[in-house]
């Protein structure tokens, strides 16, 4: 291009409007950006605020009603009786079992996810990074039920895991584990251990992705600076990497913890006949028709998550945000 | 005397790229040593080799007489001030400064006292409770300096530490770094692409290009007596003169260099000299920089501000003292 072509002086300093409704709208939104924001946010706010939160509160309100034990009808008077029922030994047992499982699944997910996320954030580039995302997301694309039934087959007595351990002459380890109380059972597919394995598998991507995002935001030279100042790799992990990755771990644990608290399909397909909160809600509102108790059960994970987030905040998990 | 840092035929290759190529280097204990060069010349890789972030592909490195290959950064008594400071965002200033002492297991009260002292040394007393995010660029840079100095390193490495500061602050920090280095007697190794900074601060300067050291010497050596065309051009934008031109004035067929401030401008057709044409002027405040065209050879001259100048495009005659014409080692 020649200088002359750039040097044209024919255009005026202010360009005319493009005209029409689109032009007028563009100009209006430019002058009033809040109007555009309002219009864009209105549908999601209506959906989340009214339909979603509203129905959640309607459900919670149910937990303050009670069921008439003779007629099976709901008594629409305010009472804390349903919450009292929650503290019966059988129900407390369900809550304790679910929370323990959620804690263990979260810890295991964090421990397994961290090295994968660390590799992806620090070392994987280009093609390997694409492969990482594909590898993490691929399980999310296939049906949840198919994956769980696949795990049931893997963990079954005639399944590939038993076969593999037999080939390795390690069957005694499996048998020893299955003979233990609480975690054991006839086979992995009908034991609490099997439930745990399936949970960790299904929720792992929800831990890996936030941890990877958090680690990606940690500048590489902080790790170098720590090492330069005399910190061994272990000290660098404890003092720099872990605290800066903590918001990601907490974000991931919110997913793994709350998803485990609420799930009712995995423990039904893989595991013992002992109930989890999700199954209790399902059976109370379905076969038993006790909607107030089902509603009270759903309050439990909400309260636990509230305490969990409060505790995480107090421990400074969000300080690095 | 053992060198503070000694490189023997050190190379660092990244794939087919020779970032550092057979470099020999000896840094004297207690000196302020600058590594000067354009980006990608290998100066920062050399610094990282001393810090231990990189390992040499071949050659040997010793720090105060001890072999350093294969020694991790955390076992070297060498500290770095990073280009963008690399302060820990989740610690306050005091904990940042005390970090090196903390990981060495120094008791809390003792390390906090040492950190306070280091902060006073860089003229930031009482800033300990702030977060790095609340500080200005210049303050962060001082914190980074205090964080390194509190460990009493044998060698302090500075990677373009003044690059992100504005001009006024940079000049202040240059003086301060220089006097700090004098007072502490620690060996400073300073990486910069700014030749003015290297010349004004360093006891000795190594000029890097393409992974090699072009010349090592005092700032005066480097500035007055460049050995190669690259050094002449990079350090102070000297006029590089081709062998044919040099032969006319010195009788030797070699590349030469002539500082812009050594050239005087006269009116055309007045006495002998190099006939040229003035093609442009750049006002620089204290001086004016002139672009000249001497029969196809592009030259620059610097004259004091206020000098009466011919108009652009006019013919002029250039004169210079032949002693100022420096002959370079580089073969013609």
Delineate the domains of chain A, giving CATH numbers in brackets: 22-54 (no CATH), 86-314 (1.10.3720.10)
Residues 6+ away with beta carbon under 8 Å from B329: B227, B228
Please state which of the ranges A15-24, A269-278, B114-123, B209-218 shows the lowest mean pLDDT: A15-24
Q: Which ipTM value was assigned to this complex? A: 0.85
Q: What is the pLDDT of residue B8?
A: 94
Structural Rg of chain A based on CA atoms: 27
The reply to whether residue B100 touches residue A225, judged by beta carbons under 8 angstroms, is: no
- For residues B62 and B69, what is the distance between their CA atoms, to the nearest angstrom? 8
- Shortest alpha-carbon distance between residue A208 and chain B (Å): 22
- For residues A235 and B103, what is the distance between their CA atoms, to the nearest angstrom? 7
- For residues B223 and B213, what is the distance between their CA atoms, to the nearest angstrom? 15
- For residues B23 and B10, what is the distance between their CA atoms, to the nearest angstrom? 5
Beta-bridged to residue B46, according to DSSP, are none
- Here the contacts of B236-240 (C-beta below 8 Å, separation 24 or greater) are B236/B195, B236/B199, B236/B260, B237/B300, B239/B263, B239/B299, B239/B300
Q: What is the pLDDT of residue A320?
A: 57
- For residues A199 and A259, what is the distance between their CA atoms, to the nearest angstrom? 9
Judge whether A163 and A169 are in contact, CB under 8 Å: no
Spell out which residues of chain B touch residue A221, defining contact as CB-CB under 8 Å: 82, 84, 86
- For residue A242, the chain B residue with the least C-alpha distance is B90
Q: Considering CB atoms only, which of B53, B90, B103 is closest to A229? A: B103
Angle at B315 between CA B314 and CA B319, to 5 degrees: 130
- For residues B243 and B257, what is the distance between their CA atoms, to the nearest angstrom? 10
Helix (H, G, I), strand (E, B) or coil at A103: helix
| Residue showing tokens 């044919």 | B244
pLDDT digits (tens, 9 = 90+) for B240-263: 888 888 888 888 888 888 988 888
Judge whether B51 and B80 are in contact, CB under 8 Å: yes
The reply to whether residue B100 touches residue A229, judged by beta carbons under 8 angstroms, is: yes
Judge whether B300 and B291 are in contact, CB under 8 Å: yes
Spell out which residues of chain B touch residue A230, defining contact as CB-CB under 8 Å: 74, 100, 103-104, 151
Spell out which residues of chain B touch residue A226, defining contact as CB-CB under 8 Å: 88, 99, 103
Spell out which residues of chain B touch residue A319, defining contact as CB-CB under 8 Å: 90
The reply to whether residue A228 touches residue B73, judged by beta carbons under 8 angstroms, is: yes
Question: Which of A299, A89, A108, A69 is closest to A203 using CA atoms?
Answer: A108
Q: How far is CA B98 from CA A49, B4, B92, B101, B104, in A?
A: 48, 25, 10, 5, 10
Judge whether A246 and A294 are in contact, CB under 8 Å: no
Judge whether A304 and A99 are in contact, CB under 8 Å: yes
Structural Rg of chain B based on CA atoms: 24
Residues 6+ away with beta carbon under 8 Å from B202: B32, B33, B34, B190, B219
Judge whether A296 and A74 are in contact, CB under 8 Å: no
Q: What is the pLDDT of residue B285?
A: 87
- For residue A217, the chain B residue with the least C-alpha distance is B89
Judge whether B167 and B183 are in contact, CB under 8 Å: no
Q: In 3-state terms, chain A is what percent helix, strand and coil (to 5)?
A: 75, 0, 25
Helix or strand run (H / E) with residue B27: strand B17-27
The reply to whether residue B104 touches residue A243, judged by beta carbons under 8 angstroms, is: no
Spell out which residues of chain A touch residue B151, defining contact as CB-CB under 8 Å: 229-230
Spell out which residues of chain B touch residue A224, defining contact as CB-CB under 8 Å: 51, 53, 73, 80, 82, 86
Per-residue pLDDT band for B93 (boundaries 50, 70, 90) equals very high
The β-bridge relationship of strands B32-36 and B187-192 is parallel
Domains in chain B (CATH in brackets) are 5-228 (3.40.50.300), 237-327 (2.40.50.140)
Q: What is the pLDDT of residue B268?
A: 64
Average pLDDT over residues B97-111: 94
Cα dihedral A257/A259/A261/A263 (nearest 10) = -150
Which tokens belong to B179?
């006097």
- For residues B157 and B34, what is the distance between their CA atoms, to the nearest angstrom? 10
Query: How many Å separate Cα A128 from the centre of its chain?
Result: 25
Does residue B272 surpass a pLDDT of 80?
A: no
The reply to whether residue A228 touches residue B79, judged by beta carbons under 8 angstroms, is: yes
Q: What is the pLDDT of residue A14?
A: 83
- Shortest alpha-carbon distance between residue B295 and chain A (Å): 27
- For residue B84, the chain A residue with the least C-alpha distance is A221
- Shortest alpha-carbon distance between residue B50 and chain A (Å): 11
Q: What is the pLDDT of residue A200?
A: 95
Judge whether B96 and B147 are in contact, CB under 8 Å: yes
- Shortest alpha-carbon distance between residue A234 and chain B (Å): 10
Spell out which residues of chain B touch residue A222, defining contact as CB-CB under 8 Å: 86, 88
- For residue B89, the chain A residue with the least C-alpha distance is A320
The reply to whether residue B84 touches residue A231, judged by beta carbons under 8 angstroms, is: no
The reply to whether residue A231 touches residue B74, judged by beta carbons under 8 angstroms, is: yes
- For residues B303 and B136, what is the distance between their CA atoms, to the nearest angstrom? 38
Which residues of A make CB contacts under 8 Å with B? 219, 221-222, 224-232, 235, 239-240, 243-244, 319-320
Q: What is the pLDDT of residue B235?
A: 86
- For residues A120 and A114, what is the distance between their CA atoms, to the nearest angstrom? 10
Specify the DSSP class assigned to residue B70: T
- For residues A68 and A6, what is the distance between their CA atoms, to the nearest angstrom? 85
Question: Which of B52, B80, B53 is closest to B66 using CA atoms?
Answer: B52
The reply to whether residue B73 touches residue A219, judged by beta carbons under 8 angstroms, is: no
- For residues A224 and A222, what is the distance between their CA atoms, to the nearest angstrom? 5
Per-residue pLDDT band for B309 (boundaries 50, 70, 90) equals confident
Side-by-side strand order, sheet with B315-319: B264-267, B315-319, B274-283, B287-294, B297-304
Judge whether B73 and B228 are in contact, CB under 8 Å: no
Give pLDDT < 70 ranges for chain A.
1-10, 316-317, 319-321
Average pLDDT over residues B270-288: 84
- For residues A148 and A270, what is the distance between their CA atoms, to the nearest angstrom? 8
Q: Is B74 at the interface with chain A, CB within 8 A?
A: yes
Spell out which residues of chain A touch residue B74, defining contact as CB-CB under 8 Å: 227-232
Proportion of chain B above pLDDT 70, given as a percent = 98
Which tokens belong to A140?
């999310």
- For residues B151 and B129, what is the distance between their CA atoms, to the nearest angstrom? 20
Query: How many Å separate Cα A153 from the centre of its chain?
Result: 25
Which tokens belong to B291?
């672009």
Q: How far is CA B259 from CA A56, A143, B207, in A?
A: 80, 75, 18
- For residue B153, the chain A residue with the least C-alpha distance is A229
């Amino acid at each position: 291009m020649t200088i002359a072509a750039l040097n044209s002086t024919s255009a005026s300093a202010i360009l005319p409007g493009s005209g029409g409704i689109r032009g007028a709208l563009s100009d209006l939104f430019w002058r009033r950006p809040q109007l555009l924001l309002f219009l864009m946010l209105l549908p999601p706010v209506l959906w989340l605020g009214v339909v979603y939160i509203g129905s959640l509160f309607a459900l919670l309100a149910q937990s303050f009603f009670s069921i008439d034990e003779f007629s099976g009808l709901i008594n629409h008077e305010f009472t804390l009786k349903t919450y009292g029922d929650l503290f019966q030994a059988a129900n407390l047992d369900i809550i304790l079992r679910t929370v323990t499982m959620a804690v263990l699944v979260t810890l295991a997910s964090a421990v397994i996810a961290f090295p994968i996320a660390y590799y992806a954030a620090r070392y994987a580039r280009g093609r390997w990074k694409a492969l990482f995302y594909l590898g993490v997301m691929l399980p999310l694309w296939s049906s949840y039920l198919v994956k769980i039934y696949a795990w049931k087959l893997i963990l079954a007595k005639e399944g590939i895991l038993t076969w593999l351990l037999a080939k390795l002459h390690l069957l005694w380890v499996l048998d020893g584990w299955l003979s233990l109380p609480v975690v054991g059972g006839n086979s992995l597919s009908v034991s609490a251990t099997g439930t745990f394995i399936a949970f960790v598998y299904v929720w792992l991507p929800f831990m890996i992705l936030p941890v990877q995002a958090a680690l990606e935001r940690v500048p590489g030279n902080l790790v170098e600076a720590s090492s330069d100042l005399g910190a061994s790799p272990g000290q660098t992990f404890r003092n720099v990497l872990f605290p800066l990755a903590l918001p990601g771990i907490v974000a991931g644990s919110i997913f793994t913890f709350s998803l485990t608290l609420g799930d009712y399909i995995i423990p039904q397909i893989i595991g013992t006949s002992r109930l989890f909160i999700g199954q209790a809600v399902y059976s109370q509102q379905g076969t038993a028709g006790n909607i107030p108790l089902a509603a009270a059960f759903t309050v439990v994970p909400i309260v636990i998550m509230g305490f969990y987030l409060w505790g995480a905040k107090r421990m400074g998990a969000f300080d690095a945000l | 005397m053992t060198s503070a840092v000694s490189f023997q035929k050190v190379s660092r290759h990244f794939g087919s790229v020779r970032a550092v190529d057979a470099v020999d280097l000896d840094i004297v204990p207690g000196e302020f040593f600058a590594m000067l060069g354009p980006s990608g010349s290998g100066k920062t890789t050399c610094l990282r080799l001393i810090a231990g972030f990189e390992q040499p592909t071949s050659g040997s490195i010793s720090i105060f007489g001890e072999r350093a290959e294969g020694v991790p950064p955390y076992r070297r008594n060498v500290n770095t001030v990073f280009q963008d400071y690399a302060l820990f965002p989740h610690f306050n200033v005091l904990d940042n400064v005390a970090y090196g002492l903390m990981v060495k297991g120094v008791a809390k009260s003792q390390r906090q006292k040492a950190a306070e002292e280091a902060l006073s040394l860089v003229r930031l007393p009482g800033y300990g409770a702030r977060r790095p995010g609340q500080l200005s660029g210049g303050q962060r840079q001082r914190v980074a300096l205090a964080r390194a100095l509190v460990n009493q390193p044998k060698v302090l490495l500075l990677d373009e530490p003044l690059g992100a500061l504005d001009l006024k602050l940079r000049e202040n920090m240059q003086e301060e770094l220089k006097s700090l280095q004098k007072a502490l007697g620690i060996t400073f190794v300073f990486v910069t692409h700014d030749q003015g900074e290297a010349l004004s601060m360093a006891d000795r300067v190594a000029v890097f290009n393409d992974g090699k050291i072009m010349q090592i010497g005092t700032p005066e050596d480097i500035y007055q007596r460049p050995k190669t065309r690259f050094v002449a051009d990079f350090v102070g934008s000297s006029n590089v003169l081709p062998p044919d031109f040099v032969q006319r004035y010195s009788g030797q067929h070699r590349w030469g260099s002539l500082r812009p401030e050594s050239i005087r401008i006269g009116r055309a057709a007045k006495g002998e000299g190099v006939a040229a044409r003035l093609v442009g002027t750049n006002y620089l405040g204290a001086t004016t920089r002139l672009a000249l065209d001497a029969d196809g050879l592009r030259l620059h001259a610097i004259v004091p501000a206020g000098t009466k100048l011919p108009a652009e495009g006019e013919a002029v005659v250039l004169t210079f003292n032949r002693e100022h014409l420096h002959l370079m080692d580089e073969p013609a």
